[in-house]
Amino acid sequence: MKISRRNRLGFTLVELLVVIAIIGVLVALLLPAVQQAREAARRMSCGNNLKQLALACHNYHDTFLELPTGSQQLIGWRISILPFIEQKNLTDKFNYTETFSGNADTGNAKLLEKLELDAFICPSTQPPQSYPWNKRHHQYHSYCGVNGAVDRNATNQAEWGACKQFYGYSCDNGTMGYNQELTFANITDGTSNTLMIGEQSGYDPGMEEWNSGLKQGYHGGWHGAGNSVVNASATQTGIGGGMAPIVYPPNSVCSSGDRWVCGMAYVNSCNYNSYHPGGVQFALADGSVRFVPETTDLVLLKRLAMRGDGRVASMP
């Protein structure tokens, strides 16, 4: 007598549920690793951007025997280095007697309308949610020139040099300043010990009420400080064009009582911050790029931001 057996043609429900559970566990284990790998790639790309901007400043120095001025009336350092990041065709069309404001109707403003150059954008940043005082949607930048350091307890509001507060702080003790013609010789603390460009590409939860926590620029990111610059000495005031001094540690949360110092969207005293976990990247004056942990001692960071205070500090 023959006993017939039927071949099994599929899974039972229990087996299927077990397989799905195993796949879910594997995905849960794998996803953070994938995200970390992607962030590592974005951070590397961001560091490369900073490197290219720093090298552009070096090439500018080689050509004009001085560093690009952080802000010189209508022109900021970002405009100055454009020919050195393969944008000479664009700069040849500029009229340097006109404003570069994103809220203007000048030829310069129209040339820069909705233009986005990847060299100025950290891949980890988030796009702006709005364009206040910037009807032409000029690019908001992820990188800011280091304008020195503020000591709010000092006579001149600086341990060395001077800073002045007006819609944030402006200083004369950094690698980039207002109407200052600086060279590498002026960086007496050493180019490998002095910050030049840093990130303002992150998010500040302390500023959610006023500007959704995103860093933005007044009239976009290409304009200079305009007529608010008083002179080339120690007490410049006004809304800066793409610069910020060190006031607080990286990735600090701006407090409600200090919004005019560390967080207004249209001034350049915004804290240095990023979406990179644990810190912010800076380009030094020698062209190297370093990751600065948010736990770095603030006094050390301020000494790194000042170009010639005589108290040489090494990178952490």
Average the pLDDT over 122-143 and give the result: 87
The answer to whether 141 and 221 are in contact (CB under 8 A) is yes
Question: What does the DSSP 8-state code read for residue 139?
Answer: P
| Nearest to 252, CA basis, from 281, 282, 272 | 272
Query: Is residue 119 very low, low, confident or very high in pLDDT (cuts 50, 70, 90)?
Result: very high
Question: What does the DSSP 8-state code read for residue 141?
Answer: P
Q: What is the CA radius of gyration of the chain?
A: 24
Q: Report how far apart the first and last C-alpha atoms of the chain are (Å, whole number).
A: 85
Average the pLDDT over 21-43 and give the result: 77
The whole-number pLDDT of residue 232 equals 41
The whole-number pLDDT of residue 240 equals 65
The whole-number pLDDT of residue 237 equals 47
Query: Is residue 313 very low, low, confident or very high in pLDDT (cuts 50, 70, 90)?
Result: confident
Q: What is the pLDDT of residues 158-188, one digit of tens each?
A: 999 998 877 778 889 999 988 888 999 999 9
Rounded Cα gap, residues 203 and 220, in angstroms: 18
Q: pTM for this structure?
A: 0.86
The answer to whether 280 and 249 are in contact (CB under 8 A) is no
The whole-number pLDDT of residue 220 equals 81
The whole-number pLDDT of residue 261 equals 79
Rounded Cα gap, residues 73 and 232, in angstroms: 11
pLDDT surpasses 90 at 16: no
The whole-number pLDDT of residue 205 equals 85
Mean pLDDT (the chain) is 85
The whole-number pLDDT of residue 211 equals 64
The whole-number pLDDT of residue 4 equals 52
Q: Which amino acid is at 72?
A: Q
Of residues 17 and 211, more confidently modeled: 17
Helices (H), 122-273: 208-211, 259-262
Average the pLDDT over 248-276 and give the result: 80
pLDDT surpasses 60 at 283: yes
**Cβ-based neighbours of 256, under 8 Å, separated by 6 or more:** 206
Average the pLDDT over 285-291 and give the result: 96
Q: What is the pLDDT of residues 96-113, one digit of tens each?
A: 999 898 889 999 999 999
DSSP element (H, E) containing 75: strand 75-76
**Cβ-based neighbours of 67, under 8 Å, separated by 6 or more:** 57, 60, 61, 175, 176, 182, 183, 184
Q: Which amino acid is at 69?
A: T
Strand 195-199 relative to strand 143-149, pairing: antiparallel
102's tokens: 């994103």
Rounded Cα gap, residues 244 and 45, in angstroms: 23
The answer to whether 296 and 316 are in contact (CB under 8 A) is yes
Tokens 């006031």: give the residue. Answer: 247
E-state strands within 200-257: 243-246
Average the pLDDT over 3-28 and give the result: 71
Backbone angles phi and psi of 231, in degrees to 5: -160, -170
Query: Is residue 265 very low, low, confident or very high in pLDDT (cuts 50, 70, 90)?
Result: low
The whole-number pLDDT of residue 5 equals 53
